Amino acid sequence: MPVGSTQVLIDVIVSLAVPALKVASITANIINLTCQTLANQVLVSGVILETIRQVALATDMVVVQVAALPFSAAVPVPGAVPGEACRVIRAEIEGITVQFVADQLIRQVVVFELEVETAGVLPLPTPQPFSPLFEARPPGTVVFR
């Protein structure tokens, strides 16, 4: 079974619900993964679902909001044939950095790893336990829970 992996970087501006003094934390998961096999590569689409906790500028209260960051990426897989079955065997967030653009806008750079495999017929996946939530705390401090 041909296997390939790649590191993906997403640079995006996210609008905050209220003007914020700071971002307290961000937790994120990669969801809704789909793939399609092409010649020597696999196209992967999905969504990074984030929970952003920010300290409101006016009240100093913590406000929680959800952001969905869609993405698509091409993963090189030498030997992949168009139409073969594919699956994502690993999707792992490696880092999130946050920078304020304005008090209601933040720039996020999200880096994650994708690993895929292809085969004529893939066996059913065995259930895996959920991976730990990823948490990033500005400026660039990363914590796993």
Write out pLDDT tens, residues 108-122: 999 999 999 998 765
Asked if 103 and 144 count as a contact pair (C-beta separation under 8 A), the reply is no
pLDDT of residue 119: 86
Q: Would residue 83 count as lying in a domain?
A: yes
- The range of the structural domain enclosing residue 54 comes to 3-120
Q: Would residue 134 count as lying in a domain?
A: no
Q: What is the pTM of this model?
A: 0.79
Q: What total number of domains does the chain contain?
A: 1
Q: Would residue 125 count as lying in a domain?
A: no
pLDDT at 141 over 50: no
**Residue 140, φ and ψ in degrees, nearest 5:** 80, 10
pLDDT of residue 145: 42
Asked if 42 and 74 count as a contact pair (C-beta separation under 8 A), the reply is yes
Write out pLDDT tens, residues 49-68: 999 999 998 898 999 999 99
Cis peptide before 127 (omega within 30 of 0): no
